[in-house]
Amino acid sequence: MPLFRRILIANRGEIALRVIRTAQEMGIETVAIYSDADRTALHVRKATCAQHVGGSKPIESYLDAKRVLEIAKKTGCDALHPGYGFLSENAAFSEACEAAGITFLGPGPKAIRSMGDKVAARTIALKAGVPLVPGLQEDIDEAGLVAGAKKLGYPVMLKAASGGGGKGIRIVSEESGLLEAFRLARAEAKGAFADDRVYLEKYVEEPRHVEIQIMADKHGNVVHYGERECSVQRRHQKLVEETPCSVLTEELRQKMGESACGLAREVGYVGAGTVEFLYSKGEFYFLEMNTRLQVEHPITEECYGVDLVREMIRVGAGLAVQQPGPSRGHAIEVRINAEDPTNYFPSLGRIERLGLPGGPGVRLDAAMFRGQEVTPYYDSMLGKLIVHAADRPEAIARCIRALRELRIVGVLTSLPVAMATLQSEEFQSGNYDTGILERINTGSDERRDVAMLSGAIARFLAAEKVGVVVDPGEGAAPSQSDWAMMGRRERLWRKR
């Protein structure tokens, strides 16, 4: 007998498709929800049944907690998986599911509230004995801010007490810019999270962003599946992730894992979660806890041979969490974002051509299809390319090869930036930090030319409705840069 009869997936895109696939393997029916903009989306087609949830804007659809719960009740769902984003870290929604007798496949409202407030989370982490970045945990006013920053020493970092995604963050290197940065951080936090509280931390220089994947059951058992290195970021949002981290010792890995599990026990955590740390010069510090499944979870799955969504469903049904086996090999994930690689602005349009990579150790978690409209309503991420290999050099080579095979025509993507990162000496050495993208010479002028050319070719092919497939990577030497490869696109196109 399946653990649940029917699960509603309160999300969209690749993560909805990801949950549907695991549920199908477990013999569980799935209910998808969709907005006006997602009527033709893949997750709608693959679920057992689909229900219209509302308009194209998130507030009219995927963020409408009342409507989502109504659909879950109407369709007879006994569990609900929130994915990530939208309602996944909404304590009130978790509470409403419990009240309706529907199992929320995630932590309870108390844990979400405790960890969702960054100031409260720091207090709990301190109680659990988890190392903290020096700072002021309490909410601060302008007078306390100036005195606190002077005591900590510059540079310092201002951070929103609620939310995430890089919003409400300001790095300040000297006192003259402190108050202005404080006002801007509060305004951004207010707009993004309806909460203008900001706290102060000492800025850790040359940090690496390292996180621990945990899983906890309803019986008080907590396990972890090692760490993920997430230091390749733009605007405090991750672009390339890998596991294991190339600089952690086994002793330090164990300490970080124990700290993460201790924090989860402190708040009575259930389900999948991630405890994020900053690592610098042999020390690690608590950053925050994400009370949900992370975008980058597939690389952990590849190295540990585990299905984390399946584990979420199992522990949600009351079963004991399974002990993880040893990690094997190395895995890398590249996020596929529909955005201009020259400035990271979202790119809208229709996917006119799509060529997917394959071969040993290559996985694509995506809901892309030819003819798909990329709209302005949702996050720019279209999917994730994941590779797994015996060791780090082989994983990097495999990822570069898979990126060369991946072709998306019609919208601009961030893939050229990922390619430049993987090919850089700094990344390949393993000795990098969160400032890596600022140091890599990604050739912004050349990227702009390539972006404009790619868009022009896509529009031409769409307008002429011709079946021409241009592969700029054919015959290219592995050492040749992606920009040079894409430059061949124009020459091939002109010949045709």
Residues 416 and 316 in one domain: yes
Residues 416 and 478 in one domain: no
Q: What is the pLDDT of residues 438-472, one digit of tens each?
A: 998 644 455 445 545 555 554 455 444 433 333 33
Residue 128 domain-assigned?
Answer: no
Would you please indicate which residues are annotated as catalytic (active-site) residues?
Answer: 292
Q: Which two tokens stand for residue 171?
A: 């790095």
Residues 155 and 217 in one domain: no
Does residue 4 register a pLDDT over 50? yes
By residue range, what is the domain housing residue 468? 446-495
Reported pTM: 0.85
Number of domains in the chain: 4
Q: Which two tokens stand for residue 269?
A: 């955590």
Residues 295 and 432 in one domain: yes
Among candidate residues 108, 105, 115, 107, the one with its CA nearest the CA of residue 18: 105
What distance in Å separates the CA atoms of residue 458 and residue 370, rounded to the nearest whole number?
12
Task: List all residues 6 or more positions away from 403 whose beta carbon is below 8 Å from its beta carbon.
Answer: 334, 357, 385, 415, 418, 419, 422, 482
Residue type, 202: K
Q: What is the pLDDT of residues 156-192, one digit of tens each?
A: 999 888 766 677 889 999 999 999 999 999 998 888 7
Residue 124 domain-assigned?
Answer: no
pLDDT tier, 193 (very low <50, low <70, confident <90, very high otherwise): confident
User: Residue 406's domain is classified under what CATH number?
Assistant: 3.30.470.20
- For 113, the 3-state DSSP assignment is helix
- Tell me the average pLDDT across 135-143: 75
What distance in Å separates the CA atoms of residue 401 and residue 357, rounded to the nearest whole number?
9
Does residue 350 register a pLDDT over 60? yes
Residues 225 and 338 in one domain: yes
Q: Which two tokens stand for residue 472?
A: 């700029």
Q: What is the pLDDT of residues 357-373, one digit of tens each?
A: 999 999 999 999 999 99
Task: List all residues 6 or more positions away from 277 whose beta carbon is below 8 Å from its beta carbon.
Answer: 209, 210, 211, 212, 256, 259, 284, 285, 286, 287
Residues 189 and 263 in one domain: no
Residues 231 and 323 in one domain: yes
- Cβ atoms within 10 A of the Cβ of 20, count? 25
Residues 275 and 358 in one domain: yes
Residues 343 and 219 in one domain: yes
Task: List all residues 6 or more positions away from 89 whose beta carbon is below 8 Å from its beta carbon.
Answer: 112, 116, 290, 291, 292
Cα 129-131-133 angle, rounded to 5 deg: 140
**Residue 163 has what pLDDT?**
66
Residues 435 and 457 in one domain: no
Q: What is the pLDDT of residues 270-284, one digit of tens each?
A: 999 999 999 998 999
Phi/psi for 309 (5° steps) reads -65, -40
Range among 187-196, 207-216, 478-487 rated most confident: 207-216
Does residue 478 register a pLDDT over 70? no
Does residue 286 register a pLDDT over 70? yes
CB 106 within 8 A of CB 85: no
User: Residue 149's domain is classified under what CATH number?
Assistant: 3.30.1490.20
pLDDT tier, 197 (very low <50, low <70, confident <90, very high otherwise): confident
Among candidate residues 420, 314, 409, 408, the one with its CA nearest the CA of residue 366: 408
Residues 266 and 238 in one domain: yes
pLDDT tier, 130 (very low <50, low <70, confident <90, very high otherwise): very high
pLDDT tier, 480 (very low <50, low <70, confident <90, very high otherwise): very low
Residue 425 domain-assigned?
Answer: yes
What distance in Å separates the CA atoms of residue 207 and residue 434, rounded to the nearest whole number?
6
Residues 96 and 74 in one domain: yes
What distance in Å separates the CA atoms of residue 173 and residue 121, rounded to the nearest whole number?
26
Residue with more model confidence, 359 or 118: 359
What distance in Å separates the CA atoms of residue 156 and residue 203, rounded to the nearest whole number?
4
Residue 113 domain-assigned?
Answer: no
- Tell me the average pLDDT across 203-232: 96
Task: List all residues 6 or more positions away from 247 whose beta carbon is below 8 Å from its beta carbon.
Answer: 208, 279, 430, 431
- Cβ atoms within 10 A of the Cβ of 282, count? 8
